[in-house]
Amino acid sequence: MFFGLGSLTLNYLLYQSKLVPRFLSVWGLIGAALVLIYGLLGLFGLKPDMISSILTILALPIAVQEMVFAIWIIVKGFKSSTTAS
């Protein structure tokens, strides 16, 4: 759950500051919400065999988003018009 909250905060701040394209931020917000849902399902006691398959499905969007985000930052960096101000 803490990973989901941290990811939600990061992507919200990136969305507000416009340092990266909006689609990356929105994708991260959706992925973070899915990870939070997974955390809540774990709190309510799903069976361990169910949790592993649900985790894979719910964690896939944020995992791919973080890889794309890292490549984006390495290749393109932040928007220079936003960082100048």
Statement: residue 58 has pLDDT above 80 = yes
pLDDT tier at 25 (50, 70, 90 boundaries)? very high
pLDDT tier at 37 (50, 70, 90 boundaries)? confident
For every residue of the chain, DSSP letters joined together read: -HHHHHHHHHHHHHHHHTSS-HHHHHHHHHHHHHHHHHHHHHHTT--HHHHHHHHHHHHHHHHHHHHHHHHHHHHT-S-HHHHH-
Please say whether the beta carbons of 34 and 58 come within 8 A.
yes
Statement: residue 57 has pLDDT above 80 = yes
The predicted model scores a pTM of 0.80
